[in-house]
Amino acid sequence: MLVVTFTRAASQELRDRVRRQLDDAAAVLADPTTADPANRLHEWLLDADEAELHDRLDRLTTALPSFDAATIATIHQFCHDVLKGLGVAGDSDSFATLVEDTTGLRDEVIDDLYVARRAQDPSFDLSHERARFIGHCVLTNTGAALDAPADDSQRAVIDFAEALRNEYARRKRRAGILEYDDLLVDLRTALRATPSIARERMRARWSVVLVDEFQDTDPVQWEVFQTAFSEAGRSLILIGDPKQAIYGFRGGDVQTYLL
């Protein structure tokens, strides 16, 4: 079983809640008289013949001692775990240091390339403030696609954004650091390969996958789950409220709401 959520605190809370639910379910199956009539889970657990009730209790008592083998983690912890397991078969540097804040490096790359571009191309009339805004957008969303410009007037902006990404990636490699989003992009790359060792190993390891707060998944995160687990014989369960996806602080993602 794999359970994925978005914060460390939430992953620890989920681990505790799942363990308590398993303990409670086992206790109810062992002694049906302890069932709470108002608890729908208890009602569902006990809605079976004697043979099935015995099997359910047996599965739970087998699962509980090995509960720690279940993966309940943040999406980035999950990606890191998978990529480490791939070793040389993955596209990530296993010796790189994972860092939480690279604001200084982003600013350095944006400023250096902006000065260089203005010196090389006098027609490049992007203001420094605008360049900073564009730079932080493309460097904090490294998995997002850069759309082709509608006309040549925007070509310089797209070229600048692509150059920023390439230089930023180069300097991170040189410094031996990784960001959390790098883990997602690297895993997506590994899953897109043909054949994909990552996909084979992930499917062999996890047959039941629960994605908590799924309305907060971005396109890269969703592609990882869909590519790895959306097939016959796998249970991909999405838990969340799609209406929350339209909130402004989540980017107003109407497409997720319509999913």
Q: Is the pLDDT of residue 251 over 80?
A: no
Q: Is the pLDDT of residue 200 over 70?
A: yes
Coarse DSSP helix, strand, coil percentages of the chain, rounded to the nearest 5 percent: 65, 10, 25
Q: 200-214, 216-230, 235-249: which range is least confident on average? A: 235-249
Residues 168, 215: Cα–Cα separation, whole Å: 29
- The rounded mean pLDDT for the chain is 85
Question: Pick the residue with more confidence: 225 or 149?
Answer: 225
Amino acid at 110: I
pLDDT score, position 258:
63
Q: Encoding tokens for residue 233?
A: 């014989």
pLDDT score, position 238:
87
Task: Tell me the per-residue pLDDT of 113-154, one tens digit each, with 9 for 90 and over.
Answer: 999 999 998 888 889 999 999 999 899 877 677 876 666 668
User: In the chain, what percentage of residues exceed pLDDT 90?
Assistant: 41
pLDDT score, position 150:
60
The sign one gets for the Cα dihedral 52, 53, 54, 56 is positive
Q: Is the pLDDT of residue 42 over 90?
A: yes
Q: What residues contact 127, with CB distance under 8 A and at least 6 apart?
A: none
For helices 128-139 and 155-175, what crossing angle results, to 10°? 60
3-state secondary structure of 37: coil
Q: Is the pLDDT of residue 188 over 60?
A: yes
Residues 220, 239: Cα–Cα separation, whole Å: 18
pLDDT score, position 219:
82
3-state secondary structure of 71: strand
Q: Is the pLDDT of residue 180 over 60?
A: yes
Most confident residue range from 81-85, 119-123, 163-167, 241-245? 163-167
User: In the chain, what percentage of residues exceed pLDDT 70?
Assistant: 86
Q: Is the pLDDT of residue 194 over 80?
A: yes
